[in-house]
Amino acid sequence: MRIDLHLHTTASDGLLPPTALVEAVRAADLQVFSVTDHDTVDALEEVEADARRFGLRLIPGIELSAMWRKVEFHILGYFVDPGDAALLAFLRARREARRTRLRVMLNRLRGLGIVVEAEEVLARAQDGNVGRPHLARVLVHRGFVASTDEAFDRYLAEGKPAYVPRPEVTVADAIRVIHEAGGLASLAHPGLHNRDEAIPELVAAGLDAIEVYHVNHSPGLATHYRRVAAERGLLVTGGSDFHGAAAQGHGPAPGLPCLPEAEFHRLVAATEARRAAMRH
């Protein structure tokens, strides 16, 4: 069984709409997959309908941005209830915070002689969760930069003139919201952070799993994080981080890499055990 638990759509910063993503999943011969859009569950209903039509299993997911001290981490949520009222209220607040951040970034760019209207960037985000990748694509389209990488390198990356940090959500907040929505919380691509000293605090906050398999994890890093998971009593997750095209930090196609089937069955068992405990 081929399993990829880290995929994105146009509901956040992916390039493929839900239907096209399901087609890519089918082309990759996956049987189980999770859509983990950033700070939104908007695509899940449409993806679920398409997945059911083709006999695929969708694991409802999300990827929440959160802060540990001054470092931004991403916390993946799996088996969440997309209709959970507390989760939806949390996400509405995050969406508005992203729009406020966009306005500040645009003001900073305007001070540099780069005039871009908010509506053009929001259209790229389909009026959903807007982020720096959407702004970067508009800067390319308008000819201010030659590539999205250049947009980040010159203007949007941390320390650059138009960078604006997100309003802080702590990793403990993100883990709590995922748990309240019935899900498991996993630390995304820890090899990109290189901040293993954070893991004990995340475990104390209720972290359930760690993403061992990721396109940017070398075999050596995957071995290291398998060991960390075993030492900390954490479950293991993994996936391609596919955003719709080959891009820096993202998988070139769904299923590169896959999560081993045995690890997926452990995630299912842990979810069922938690829900049974909650019922009692």
In the chain, the domains with their CATH numbers are 3-90+167-279 (3.20.20.140), 102-156 (no CATH)
Question: Within 13 Å, how many C-alpha atoms sit on residue 244's CB side?
Answer: 17
* pLDDT score recorded for residue 193: 86
* pLDDT score recorded for residue 127: 65
Distances (CA, A) of 137 to 11, 108, 123, 274: 15, 17, 11, 41
Q: Dump pLDDT digits (tens) for 170-190.
A: 999 999 999 999 999 999 999
Q: Dump pLDDT digits (tens) for 59-117.
A: 999 999 999 988 889 999 999 999 999 999 999 998 898 899 999 999 999 999 999 99
Backbone angles phi, psi at 236, to 5 degrees: -120, 135
Q: What is the pTM of this model?
A: 0.85
Question: DSSP string spanning 196-257?
Answer: GGGHHHHHHTT--EEEEEETT--HHHHHHHHHHHHHHT-EEEEE--B-SS-BTTB-SSTTSS
* pLDDT score recorded for residue 167: 73
Q: How many other C-beta atoms are found inside a 10 Å radius of the C-beta of residue 148?
A: 20
Q: Are strands 57-68 and 71-78 parallel, antiparallel or unpaired?
A: antiparallel
Residue 215 has pLDDT above 60, yes or no: yes
Residue 210 has pLDDT above 70, yes or no: yes
Question: DSSP string spanning 171-182?
Answer: HHHHHHHHHHTT
Q: How far apart are CA 9 and CA 252, in angstroms?
A: 14
- Cβ proximity of 257 and 240 under 8 Å: yes
What is the three-class DSSP state of 92? Answer: helix
